[in-house]
Copies of this chain bind each other. A is one copy, B any other.
Amino acid sequence: MTPQSQSVDAGVTEPLSKMRLRLWLKLLKASNQIEDQIRRRLREEYQSTLPRFDVMSALARSPDGLKMSQISGLLRVSNGNVTGIVDRLAEEGLALRVAVPGDRRASLVRLTPKGETAFAEQAVAHEHWISDRLDRLDADDVEGMIRRLDYLNDTLEEKD
């Protein structure tokens, strides 16, 4: 019997694959619970959405603008997806497309001043919402979870 064999404690200990499945369901539950809250508050308090917030967040970090493909790469979503979101941000005067000199295929997307102001306000609220949701976690709790999530994310990235 090999050391890896699960049958050593068959019927006694839960198989590792089941434990991992339970872990995933708990991770998903926490994630969805927090995310739903953020979506709801963005809608109710800012008539906005999480995808819009995510795009604006990316743009806010790049004052020189981002190409569509850069946004979709950062957010790990499809190109067509970003097209629609930027369209709506532009309609509302929060972002705009500017031509890229030397490449007539691409365009740079930037936040307008109005978009910068709106995002700054939402980002502050967003941080409060998260901290409020997690307010029962003290510094040690947070550090402990971050350490484990860093390890998990490292192993997940190897698989991409």
Contact = CB atoms under 8 A, between A and B. Distances in A.
- Which secondary structure dominates chain A's binding surface? helix
- Oligomeric state, in copies: 2
A34 B141 contact: no
Interface residues of A, number: 49
B150 A26 contact: yes
Contacts of A138: 16
B27 A149 contact: yes
Contact of A136 (B30, B128, B134, B155): B155
A153 B33 CA distance: 9
A60 to B, nearest CB: 15
A5 interface: no
A124 to B, nearest CB: 10
Interface of A: 16-24, 26-36, 76, 126-128, 130-131, 133-139, 141-146, 148-153, 155-156, 158-159
6 shortest A-B CB distances, which residue pairs?
A31-B31, A17-B131, A136-B155, A26-B149, A20-B134, A19-B142
24 contacts: A16-B131, A17-B128, A19-B139, A19-B142, A19-B146, A20-B131, A20-B142, A21-B126, A23-B137, A23-B142, A23-B149, A24-B133, A27-B31, A27-B34, A30-B149, A30-B153, A30-B156, A31-B31, A31-B32, A133-B159, A134-B155, A136-B158, A145-B148, A148-B148
